[in-house]
Structures are given as structure tokens and as C-alpha cells.
Chains A and B, each alone.
Chain A
Amino acid sequence: MGDPINLISQWFNDLLLGWGLGEKLVAVLSLFVGAAILVTASLLTVVVLIWVERKIAGRLQDRIGPNRAGPFGLLQPIADIIKIFTKEITTPDGADKVAFNIAPVLAMASVLLIWAVIPMAATVVGSDINVGVLYIVAVGSLGIVAILMAGWSSNNKFALLGAFRAVAQMVSYEVPMVLTLLIPVLLARSMGINDIVQAQSTWFIVIAPLAGLIFLITSMAEVGRAPFDLIEAESEIVAGFHVEYSGMAFGMFYVSEFLHVWTIGALIATLFLGGWRGPGAETWPILGLFYFYIKTFVGYFLITWIRLSLPRVRIDQLLSFNWKFLTPLTLVILVVTAIVDKALSMAGAARWLYVLVMLAANVLVGWGTMLVLKTVEPNRPGRVRQEFPPRPVAVAPEAADN
């Protein structure tokens, strides 16, 4: 009773076997059906997410948000979907037709593929492979290829500039992201996502809060949302890599971005907030699904909140933040975590002591970082370095030029 999803899948298998199909064929068929349901459910989540995001945005900006179609504007996304489906998909003259049309599909696929390895409940996981974390990184790089293809094949300067920005940003932020992903792997002693969830009797956000924070920041940069939305900065390059797309082709980029944010929420929930774990989730897997969605929403809300609160950063700030701050910090925290973890495991420390010492190590590293930043960084707020002395306006031009 507590596990309706596997119950249904078992019933479906028995039904097909009862029709006289071979056992292997049934296994393959049920895998395909499962994948189709997973993908459809993920895409349908986006319909709700668009409404949620617009409502949150409205409230945070002191507006009401969508409120016309249906109760609380709930039917607004449906109306938008009908509208976008009726629009023509245009391919510009001089565009590279094949690459232009494959790119949105690839962008969508790169996000949907991540859901294959995320465990949604104790017994509900698409594919529990032993290299799950690395798989997430690999699939993410397909998304970069999609953006490059879109930007290049559009034959548009703005699209190409957007693609350049996107790749520079994503390739840079991948470095600290992959390094932080190593920390849950290290703590769980496994790269399988379900093993990482199983290992979180104490959530990893308590044991490794800095890693969680860095993962949040870097994955926001990977999605390209504000404050890291230079890749589609409206005021500079119109819409970036998808400027030439219309109709559902644009819609696929749009939906894949929303779904990517939701997926980041799911990853934060799985890797740092204990995934499906919660009271009674082992015996009643359906509860695990509930906990998983709550935690995912927490991550999603956090990203949306940050997006709506912060202004866009400049490209030089973006890159120096990554290479001069996040990457060294991640390296330090990785080494510290590895050493402290090994020392405590060898000493056979009790669980509460282990958690406390790990937390203290993280706090110390974070505090040390702040101290170092205060002494080294010349451009800290409140003490802006003056590159040029202020020029008085009301003097003769030749006197002001020197």
C-alpha cells in the first residue's frame, strides 16, 4: 500500500505477461513506458512551475502576478501553451538548418536526462547507476553543446555573442561545481546517487554547508539565471543564443531553463538535503516522494528568490568571482573535508562528534575565507579604489585634460 508506483508497474508487467509477451520484451517495454512517464511528468511540472515562478515574482515585486485566467490565474500557463503552439516556427535565411533545429531538442534532452538517475523515493529511481554524480556532469555538458549549436547556427551576431558568453561562463563554473560534487561523493563513499541519499542519516548540508552553498551558486551560473544571466542579457544582446528562435522552438529553450532550475532544486535536495529521507519514508515510499518534492521546492524557491533579488554581474566580476574565489575555496574545502573525514573515521568518532567537527571545520574555513578576503580584496564595498581622480566640470578644457 505504501508503494503505489511499484505496485502499478508490477501490475503493468503482469498484464503484459498475461498477454503472452516474452519476459525480456516486457522488461524493455516497461522501461520505455517508465521513461515516457518520467519525462511527461517532469514536463508537466514545468506548467505548474511557470505559474509558481510568476506568482513568486509578482509577490516579491509588490504585484499580484497572473490573476485573470482561472482561479488565482492558475490557467495562465495553459493559455500561454496554447498560444505558443499556434505560433509559426521560423528558420532564418542563412541559418544552418539541421543544427538550428536540433539544438532546442538537445537542450531539452540534456536536462531531462538528469532525471534518469535521481531517486524520488526509496524504491522509485529511473536507473541506479554506480557513477550517478559523474553522469550528471556529463549530461550537463551536452547542454553546452546545444547552446553552442543554437548560437552558431542562427547566423546572428547577438546569438553568437550569447553563445560565447554562455560557454565561457558554463565551462568556468563547471570547475568548482564538479569539485563540490566530490564532497557528497567523498562523504558517502559512493558515486551512486541512491547511495548518497542512503548515507545521509545526517543531511550533508549540516556536515558540508560550504559545499552546499558553492553548489547552489555554481549551478545557478550553469543555468544562466540572474545574477548570472549575462548569456541572455536583454539590454546588451537582445536574448542571447536563442534570439532567432520562435514558437515552440523558443518554447523548448524556455521550458528547458525552467526545468533545469527545478532539476537543480532536485539535485540540492538529493545531494545535500537528504533526498527522499524523512520520518517513515523507508516503510512508506510514497511519503519519500512527498518529502523529495518539498525539499526540491525549497531549493527551487531559493534560486527564484535570489534571481529576483540580485542585479546582473559584469563579465569580469563573474569570471574573477569564479577563478579567484570559488575555485580556491572549493579546493581548500575539499582537502579539509577529506582530511578531517579520514582522521575522524580512523579514530572511530561517534556520529554526533563527527558531525560537530565537520561543521566546525566548515565554519572555520568560511570564517578564514572572510578574513582573507578583508585583507586582500582592494575593491571591497565601502572602499572603492579610485582609478581616476574626479574631474571638476567647471574648468577650462585644457586644464582638465592633464
Chain B
Amino acid sequence: MSGLEIIFLVVAAVTLSAAFMVVTTPNLVHGALWLVLTLFGVAATFVLLNAAFLAVVQVVVYIGAIAILMIFAIMLTRKVMQDSGPQTNANWIVAALLGLVLFVGIAQLLRKSSAVGMMMPAMDGAADPVVQLGEVLVSPNAYVLPFEVASVLLLAAMIGAIVVAWKK
């Protein structure tokens, strides 16, 4: 086993066990902190794939913005220091079934995908991958339309937030 494989296994184990802790820990803030570790593990996986940009964006967006806002919102709820109350309600069987179906479905799709078992293609050493990514995002032959649609979606969400918060 190469060093990279060992590191990948460690990162994957940490990510998965942290993800497991997110859903099993009774304390909401603990859950959010475990979520931070999970997202960090995903970023580490991106680093192992030589996708430095994605790794850093993962940390900036998911830990720097989303996880922090979640912790902030949780901390504003009452009695956050107490781990009381049951963790499940009457719907847990349905939820577990749905989760299982979703997992099997995604696993089936991935199994049929041609990317499974492929070796990682070698990087084009000459060009900066960040520059390539940037060019692809704004090039009309590639992803400019999805990129712009996502931007408009975010803009709409932002305007929506302002409208909601607007003083009547």
C-alpha cells in the first residue's frame, strides 16, 4: 500500500466516523462541530485528488459560512447546553427506509458509471488548473450557462433575504 492510499484510508475513516457522529450525537452543537470535521475531511479528500481549489472553496463555503451560521443559529435556541429529549420521533422508520433507498440508488448509479475503477488521469503539468477552471467557467463552449444560472439563483436568494428583512 502506498503512502497516499494510507492517508486516503485515514481521511475516509475520520470523515465517515465524524459523519456518523453528526447524526447520532444527542447534543446539537456537538453535531454541528462534528459536521465541521466531516466537511474538513471532504476538503482533505479533494487535496488528495490534487484539487486544491475545490478543497479551499469547500473550507471557505461549507465551514466558513454554512457551518458557522448553523452553529450560530443553534446557539440562539434555548437550553443548548442540555442534552435532553429523545433523538427520534415517530417517523424514524420511514426516514431510515428513504435513506436506505437513496443510498442503494446512488450506489447503483455509481456502479454503472464508467468512472469507477478508472485511474486518475495525469494532470496537464504546464497549465495552472485554477486558470483552466476559470476559463471553463466563463467560456461559451463550456459551462457559462450553468455558471450564470447559479449566479442568478444566488442573486434571487439574496434579494429574497433583503425583501424578507425589509422594514415594513
A residues apposed to B, CB below 8 Å: 24, 94, 96, 99, 129-131, 134-135, 137-142, 144-145, 148-149, 152, 155, 160, 163-164, 167, 171, 174, 190-191
Contact = CB atoms under 8 A, between A and B. Distances in A.
Contact of A155 (B56, B59, B75, B81): B81
Interface stretch (B10-18, B65-73, B88-96, B136-144): B65-73
Given A94-B81, A137-B64, A152-B80, A167 B72 contact: yes
Interface string B21-39: 0000000011001001000
A141 B57 CA distance: 11
B63 A142 contact: yes
8 contacts: A96-B29, A130-B52, A134-B60, A141-B60, A141-B63, A141-B65, A148-B75, A149-B33
B64 A138 contact: yes
Nearest to A24: B3
What is the interface of chain A mostly: helix, strand, loop, or mixed? helix
Contact of B68 (A131, A145, A191): A145
Given A141-B59, A145-B67, A191 B130 contact: yes
A163 B76 CA distance: 11
Contact of A144 (B52, B56, B64, B75): B64
Nearest to A189: B131
B36 A145 contact: yes
A155 B60 CA distance: 28
B7 to A, nearest CB: 11
Given A134-B57, A137-B56, A145-B63, 13 more contacts: A129-B52, A131-B53, A135-B56, A137-B60, A137-B64, A138-B59, A138-B60, A138-B63, A141-B59, A141-B60, A141-B68, A163-B75, A164-B72
B124 interface: no
A201 B52 CA distance: 28
Interface residues of B, number: 25
B75 A160 contact: yes
B64 A131 contact: no
Interface string B75-115: 10000110000000000000000000000000000000000
A139 B64 CA distance: 9
A149 B35 CA distance: 13
Nearest to A134: B56
A152 B81 CA distance: 8
B67 A131 contact: no
A129 B54 CA distance: 13
B68 A144 contact: yes
A148 B64 contact: no
Given A99-B33, A174-B64, A131 B56 contact: yes
B5 interface: no
A167 B68 contact: yes
A160 to B, nearest CB: 7
A155 B32 CA distance: 17
B140 to A, nearest CB: 18
Contacts of B60: 134, 137-138, 141
A135 B29 CA distance: 26
Contacts of A134: 53, 56-57, 60
A138 B71 CA distance: 17
In this complex, the member of A99, A139, A144 whose beta carbon has the largest number of chain B beta carbons within 10 angstroms is A144
B113 to A, nearest CB: 28
- Ranked 7 nearest A-B pairs via Cβ: A141-B64, A138-B59, A134-B56, A138-B60, A138-B56, A131-B56, A131-B52
Nearest to A153: B29
A171 B65 contact: yes
A164 B75 contact: yes
Interface in B122-137: 128-130
Contacts of B128: 130, 190
Contacts of A96: 29-30, 81
Contacts of B36: 145
A152 B64 contact: no
A221 to B, nearest CB: 16
A114 B74 CA distance: 29
A167 B64 CA distance: 11
B165 to A, nearest CB: 12
Contacts of B72: 148, 164, 167
A139 B60 CA distance: 8
A152 B130 contact: no
Contacts of B129: 130
B166 to A, nearest CB: 14
Interface string B138-166: 00000000000000000000000000000
Contacts of B68: 141, 144-145, 148, 167, 171
B49 to A, nearest CB: 14
B72 to A, nearest CB: 6
A94 B53 CA distance: 41
Contacts of B64: 137-138, 140-141, 144, 174
Contacts of B71: 145, 148, 152
B32 to A, nearest CB: 9
Contacts of A141: 59-60, 63-65, 68
Contacts of A149: 33
